Amino acid sequence: MNQSVLIVGAGPSGTCHFLRRLRSFLTGIPFDFKGLMLALALLRNGISVRIITQEANFVVGQRGAGVMPRSLEIYKFMGLLPEILAMARPIPAMQLLSSPQGEAPIKTVNLNKELSDTPFYPYINPLILGQDRHEGFLRKHLLEEYNVTVELATKLVYLEQHPDYVTAQILKTVDGKEVTETATFEWLVGADGAHSTVRKQLGIPFRGVTREEQILLIGDIQVKKGLGDRNIWPLWGNNWLEKMAAMRPYEIDGDDRFTFMVGGSEIDHSKAVSSREEFIRTFYEISGRTDIEFGELVWMGLWRPNIRMADRFGEGRVFIVGDAAHVHTPAGGQGMNSGIQDSFNLAWKLALVQKGISSASILDSYTKERLPVIDRVLNNTTTAFDSWTKDGNNGQWSGWDFNVRQLGINYQGSPIVLDERYMGEVTHSDPYRSGDDGLLRGGDRAPEAPGLISVNDITVTQSLFDIFKPTHHTVLAFADPSDNQGELLKVPGACANNVVQVVTIYPQSTPVTSVSIAKPTHHAFVDAEGYAYKHYNITGPGATIYIIRPDGYIGAYTQSEGGVVDYFEKLFA
């Protein structure tokens, strides 16, 4: 048998039929790097992967660069957050200017309101990190931690599903010669972009629209003189549907490159994209800023809004993640982040099934959980994009007005989530809510709680996000706060296998030295600052258990030992 999972990356989007003469400039996402995230999450779980991409080279340029708070939390669970934070930077404020630029800016807008981090939301502001660096960072970890590399110039030709495996025919270019290979895998995942071969082979429709009239020229270029402030993102244009140009500085200190976006019905896109000089001429015409001196052009291409989603995210042993499953406008930077969440949602389920712990039926929950969220993303990003293009420069627009941070995303309606307070009730009303509406139910994001003192070693203070693992369910057993004996629910030993960790949390008032760890508890903490009991709304009477899934969502809420058994029996059938 080969590796367990074949992850297929994207090829160029060469099959677009519109604007034929521009075809060679159309830009796809050469490797949909959400596949890299999936690979890392699977490898963390001990599942082997092979990753192929049709592209001959890795992506250059910044493209989708917004990193949302929920993605930062996922990186925290993956142990990668410190490095991401060291590379990323706050999103610059957008400075709206007339075309050609007048004396004063029309308005300066923060795309997202700047908020303060809290013990509940420890990383609350979106950041930027160029796609090329972000992708390179994930590739570096795949190589350094697992000796896994992405196979370039390697294309999936077709796939065939069988009850126990998937056959893939792969075409590889080695020293200019094409070599065909047929290999079998237990699972196959398409992270192969909007034009996904995998999705097409499954025959899954990709419904929605392509807005050919809203074509944009995008790319990266060095700016030698004239644009200095790295905290400002200038955007010129009186009516963005007619004419606009924007220049966002790279997030890298001392780097003089910018990511640009130029478009509108009055722009001759084919001419502008034909050479560096034509691009610069177009830019000068829109902005009037002929004092800006450009250096090297890193890359450029054409892009237009594609607003589509698949009606299911997999079938049998084959799944799709990221752009292969859904594409939307860049409003609020939701695309890349939604793809990361697809991957993180799928990875732990696939790992449990591959290990023989869960039955394949739990994989249905991937579509059931993610589809309503994506449905909402499409609606809200389309609305936001339209109001941005329409009201952008008349002073009406004041930043994204939907929940771009993705902290409220929840799976309350999932078939594998259990909350004994709301059994049989349809709670799944808003898959994308703000997350601070004062409710905490099964299916929600598990809140952070800092200031937990280890019972084993009182010099150790941790937070729940230090404890959660992408490889384990975490059974959080809270003692009854209304009972000074600290009565606990027993976690049945059979539930505590090697993919489950049991963590006991004692109330703030408990003397650390008075408690001892009894099996099957792996860790015990005193909630020294009271955040865990507060954020999980543990008021008593009675002891409570929250079961946190490997992806950081609440799998179950229960106040009985039977509830714990029920949750795991369903999951580990």
Ligand X SMILES: *[C@@H]1O[C@H](CO)[C@@H](O)[C@H](O)[C@H]1NC(C)=O
Determine the angle formed by the axes of helices 34-44 and 131-146, rounding to 10 degrees.
20
Which parts of 462-501 interact with ligand X (CB under 6 A)? none
Does 379 participate in binding ligand X (rule CB under 6 A)?
Answer: yes
* Residue reference for tokens 């029996």: 569
CB 394 within 8 A of CB 343: no
Q: Which of 98, 161, 383, 560 binds ligand X (CB under 6 A)?
A: 383
Nearer to ligand X, 380 or 414 (CB): 380
Nearer to ligand X, 103 or 144 (CB): 144
Nearer to ligand X, 307 or 496 (CB): 307
Nearer to ligand X, 198 or 404 (CB): 404
The Cα–Cα gap between 503 and 466 comes to: 12
Task: Tell me the window of 247-255, 272-280, 434-442, 500-508 that interacts with ligand X (CB under 6 A).
Answer: 434-442
Does 337 participate in binding ligand X (rule CB under 6 A)?
Answer: no
Does 184 participate in binding ligand X (rule CB under 6 A)?
Answer: no
Contacts of 367 (CB under 8 A, 6+ apart): 312, 313, 314
Q: Which of 176, 424, 438, 511 binds ligand X (CB under 6 A)?
A: 438
> Which of 397, 427, 399 is CA-nearest to residue 415?
427
Q: How far is the CB of 380 from ligand X (least distance, A)?
A: 4
Nearer to ligand X, 68 or 502 (CB): 68
Does 350 participate in binding ligand X (rule CB under 6 A)?
Answer: no
Does 429 participate in binding ligand X (rule CB under 6 A)?
Answer: no
> Which of 405, 422, 220, 407 is CA-nearest to residue 301?
220
Which parts of 123-152 interact with ligand X (CB under 6 A)? 147
Q: Which of 139, 155, 376, 405 binds ligand X (CB under 6 A)?
A: 376
Strands 318-320 and 523-527, sheet pairing: unpaired
CB 307 within 8 A of CB 209: yes
Sign of torsion over alpha carbons 313, 315, 321, 324: negative
The Cα–Cα gap between 194 and 28 comes to: 8
Q: How far is the CB of 176 from ligand X (least distance, A)?
A: 21
Report phi then psi at 277, rounded to 5.
-65, -40
The Cα–Cα gap between 163 and 218 comes to: 44
> Which of 228, 230, 260, 229 is CA-nearest to residue 247?
260
Q: How far is the CB of 218 from ligand X (least distance, A)?
A: 23
CB 9 within 8 A of CB 31: yes
Task: Tell me the window of 209-217, 236-244, 374-382, 516-524 that interacts with ligand X (CB under 6 A).
Answer: 374-382
Nearer to ligand X, 299 or 402 (CB): 402
Does 380 participate in binding ligand X (rule CB under 6 A)?
Answer: yes
> Which of 279, 293, 273, 353 is CA-nearest to residue 319?
353
Q: Which of 179, 439, 460, 518 binds ligand X (CB under 6 A)?
A: 439
Does 401 participate in binding ligand X (rule CB under 6 A)?
Answer: yes
Does 539 participate in binding ligand X (rule CB under 6 A)?
Answer: yes
**Which chain residues interact with ligand X by CB under 6 A?**
147, 376, 379-380, 382-383, 401-402, 438-440, 537, 539
